[in-house]
A and B are shown apart, each in its own frame.
Chain A
Amino acid sequence: MKEFGYERAADVSGALALLDGDPDARFLGGGTNLVDLMKTGVERPGRLVDVRELPLDRIEATEDGGLRIGATVTNSDLAAHPDVRRSYPALSQAVLAGASGQLRNVATVGGNLLQRTRCGYFADVAAPCNKRVPGSGCPAIEGEHHNHAILGASDHCVATHPSDLGVALTAFGAVVSYETPDGPGRLPFTEFYLPVGDTPHRETALPPGALITGVTLPAAPVAANSRYRKVRERASYAFAIGSVAAALDVRDGVVHEVRLAFGAVASRPWRAHTAEQALTGGPADAGAFAAAADAELAAARPLPHNAYKVTLTRNLVVAVLSELAEEATR
């Protein structure tokens, strides 16, 4: 494999200084995705700046009752944190539905957001891929795509975002904080990932050389009654073919507030605003849940072999919201 430099940063300013705006350098978190991609030649950085030792490993309550999660918090620590489990249970469930215990022990929150698609064409340097080699083509559209996108894709790329964590963060309106040599910045989760369009290789709105420092969850009492359900092709250690993060507040049989996000359907975790609007103020029953899912999924443009994802996602919405509604009225 390609020889690369390795440096370890002690703090945020040191990390930015070591990266020095070098487009051939990458920040290294847990390395659970980047190192794999380096072994297969998909990523070929000249330098790695290890940010795992940065003092960004805390989870703290914010003044307004939300949570601030440091970028180097490991997935395991995030999932086990009492405040997360109490106030945002779907977030904890989403993390635990991903990877394996060993991977979760080293994978970091910041790295999770920047992990790459698991599209098999992207991972195979012998195959064309617009995300890996812009302009080379997308073989998935006419080839294997049973686990590709049904929402928000383009003729240039139909890959999905693999994160489970990101689906819950999307549902809870998380905000990503980052640092650059020119100062800090913030991006709401719904703006963090760019539309696919004709530039699938450009994945986030982060400025070049920016370092993610953390994720802030706004206070969301509704999130205390939340759930993440993931369907995959084996019982463990596989990426989703469909997932739903949902939070529900039902008062007198009426949906007072609802949060809904889908995984494995798009190039980014998919916030289901249309479905949320359809549900709010209406009845909390299976018929309404199905109608809301259908409203969101009306925008779906499935390929020949992934239309089942429309059914799957709809069924998951109904199942998860029904469970939450039942628990809320218990």
Chain B
Amino acid sequence: MTTTTTGTRVTKAVGTAHARVEGRDKVTGAARYAGEVPFAGLAYGWMVLSTITRGRVRSVETGAVLEMPGVLTVLHHGNAPRVDIDYVGMLGVPDPTVAVFQHDRVPHAGWPVALVVAETSEQAREAAEALVVHYEEEPHDVTFAGEHPDAYTMPGPGGPAVTGKGDLEAELAASAVVVDAEYSTPEEHHNSMEPHAATALWDGGRLEVVDSNQGTVWVANELANLFSLDPASVRVRSEHVGGGFGSKGVRAHQVAAVMAATVLSRPVRVVMTRRQLFSLAGHRSPTTQRVRLGADAEGRLRALEHSCLSRTSTVYEFIESGAGVARVMYDAPAHHTANRVVRLDVPSPTYMRAPGEAPGSFALESALDELAEKCGIDPIELRVRNEPERGPVSGLPFSTRSLPACFREGARRFGWADRDPRPGLRREGRWLLGTGTAAASFGAGAMPSTAAATAEADGTFTVRISAADIGTGARTALTLVAADALQVPTDRVRVRIGDSDFGPAMIAGGSMGTRSWAWAVTAAAEELRERLALSDGIPPEGITVRSDTTEALGALAQTERHSFGAQFAEVAVDVATGEVRVRRMLGIFAAGRIVNPLTARGQFTGGMIWGISMALHEEAVRDRNTGALYGADLAGYHVATNADVPLVEADWVDDPDPDDPVGIKGIGEIGIVGAAAAIANAVWHATGVRHRSLPIRPDRVLTAGPHA
């Protein structure tokens, strides 16, 4: 098997806007999501979550509930099937939160303590709400505010805990200009439109799970490990996914559904409510970050320190690596970064769109803006002056680094040249106006994947890969990639995804899905085309070629491989009421070859809109006395509405990855990176007040006053 790694080619379908191949099914309702797929004999499970924050389950009074209409069983720590969590999966050891009903300990509010299964969803819910659980309550600590004595350093998903070079204090002391500031971001939640939902059933000795997830092979392997099954005897399907954003891996609902299907020997569906998602779907940890920058009078960095403290649960280590972004963005003779975490009595956090980079870029890019202000240098010019030649920590060259090109194009289109840098000068009625900018980056990677390409006897082609389309348009993107590799029109290509039986492949995550899958699809399709050139015709069963990119990826040179971007925002602030409105946003990205401009633009602007939400709205408030969230629903947890979203434009500069067969880098996360900083910097430009804590709520604007 050969894999092409000889750079990018001129293509036809890739780079041309293409509507989603399943778009019609989705808008007409024909597309079925995990909670909607019909099964004969389906039973419904409803999870019961702890109402205490720390302690033990003393007893579960199942008797009365088992007498309620339609109730089939109540699973809890006293009777549930055992699972094994002593394994290492694709992303490391499992979060024990998924091992439901294994013991009586309650480590956080909203911990699963029971599953009620009934003939209908309504019966299950009513019985679940009637179930009486007795607890022994213990004191808890959920307070995350700045420092904590139990904080410790921990490596992140993509790097070490701590990096350091040079004498920080000496360089700071020798700097003409110093910025030393603390920033904070709140607990944030993914809130996918489609809630987590799974149906489990045993079919001829195989466990089948119809689910909504970001990787069917990943979830299948986790379930095989948990239930001590042969991986080949587990099949997970996930045809359509209404958003994941990092939250849709293996979760309590799939495990509970498998347990109930096993005990009852019939299909069981478990769907999480919106409120349950707030404790069981993972979240982004709050962060407190300190950034110290020292620069000479021309703004060239002499010292950079970025430290980030985040929070995890007592049962699982996950770190929000906010300080990692500095390891890519800027260099300095003294350069120190550290990620630390503290364990509290809260649910386990997880990956959430641009983990690390989203909160980290808010702090670092705000600090750069403060440095620009102090130096009297334009914020874009400051960044251009500090463009590193090589990775600041790794010392490796960048595969491509087109950040200055993004700023140049963005400044031209946004009208940055006319900007008066002084804050608080522009007024329009009751509104003060300001503009801001920030840089963005996110790692570009690929992981081994397999694909199969089949030439059918009728002249069409079928591609099978266990990819996941979580709303990104991946199914469509792979159709374009396959068509080009096969050198046929897109309407002759059918791409099938979302089935673990299609073999190992990367998940939709880390901005690596499309690149990883496209590589495997290209490899299979190109070999199939070569095979067809030599064949005398196609037999009835077709001709199938399989690919595996493990070897090709292993041969890739070590380099700093990232997408970059420049974010611009204009805001209006009424300092008498505290209202902040974003008036327009522009993002220019250098993010590899863009496969489908139509869906790519949506993905970029979706991230930028989430940045508006992050800057102004999103905040999960945890009550330190109850330990639970306050207002855990979409009325209490505000996301941006249509009225909050002005003209948001995204575009890109040419930036193909030189080592990828299609030139892809990945665009899943970068749209949100830097967006909140650009807005916060614009709020400063409008008002003269720095907001270093997100979200920039009206009460915070009012409390900060007009000239803080």
Contact = CB atoms under 8 A, between A and B. Distances in A.
Given A1-B125, A123-B633, A123-B636, 18 more contacts: A1-B122, A118-B636, A120-B630, A121-B630, A123-B631, A146-B699, A231-B698, A233-B638, A233-B698, A234-B643, A234-B644, A236-B641, A236-B644, A238-B638, A241-B698, A306-B699, A319-B430, A319-B577
A237 interface: yes
Contacts of A128: 626
B619 to A, nearest CB: 9
A239 B577 CA distance: 15
Interface stretch (A14-22, A74-82, A197-205, A308-316): A308-316
Contact of A234 (B125, B631, B638): B638
Interface in B40-77: 51
A105 B275 CA distance: 26
Contact of B630 (A1, A143, A233, A316): A143
A116 to B, nearest CB: 12
Interface in A275-330: 305-306, 308-309, 311-312, 315-316, 318-319
Contacts of B624: 143
Interface in B668-707: 697-699, 702-703
Nearest to A305: B699
Interface in B615-663: 616-617, 621, 623-626, 628, 630-633, 635-636, 638, 640-644
Given A308-B578, A312-B702, A319-B430, A234 B635 contact: no
A127 interface: yes
Contacts of B698: 231, 233, 241, 308, 312
A315 B635 CA distance: 26
Say which size band chain A's interface belongs to: 35 or more
Contacts of A238: 638, 641
B129 interface: yes
A102 to B, nearest CB: 13
B409 interface: no
Contact of B703 (A1, A236, A308, A315): A308
A5 B470 CA distance: 40
A2 B699 contact: no
7 contacts: A123-B636, A124-B628, A124-B632, A127-B626, A234-B640, A234-B641, A306-B699
B577 A315 contact: yes
A54 to B, nearest CB: 28
Given A308-B703, A312-B578, A319-B576, A233 B697 contact: yes
B581 A235 contact: yes
A144 B635 contact: no
Given A2-B126, A231-B579, A241-B699, A144 B630 contact: yes
Nearest to B632: A124
Interface in B85-130: 109, 122, 125-126, 129
A253 interface: no
A189 to B, nearest CB: 26
A121 B625 CA distance: 12
B636 A120 contact: yes
Contacts of A127: 623, 626, 628
Contacts of A120: 621, 630-632, 636
Contacts of A155: none
Contacts of A124: 275, 628, 630-632
A242 interface: yes
Contacts of B623: 127, 139, 143-144
A41 B129 contact: yes
Contacts of B630: 120-121, 124, 143-144
Contacts of A239: 635
A236 B640 CA distance: 9
B577 A234 contact: no
B633 A143 contact: no
Interface string A111-154: 00000001011011111100000000001001110100000000
Contact of B576 (A241, A305, A315): A315
Contacts of A1: 122, 125-126, 129
B631 A235 contact: no
A103 to B, nearest CB: 11
A236 B58 CA distance: 45
A311 to B, nearest CB: 6
A40 interface: yes
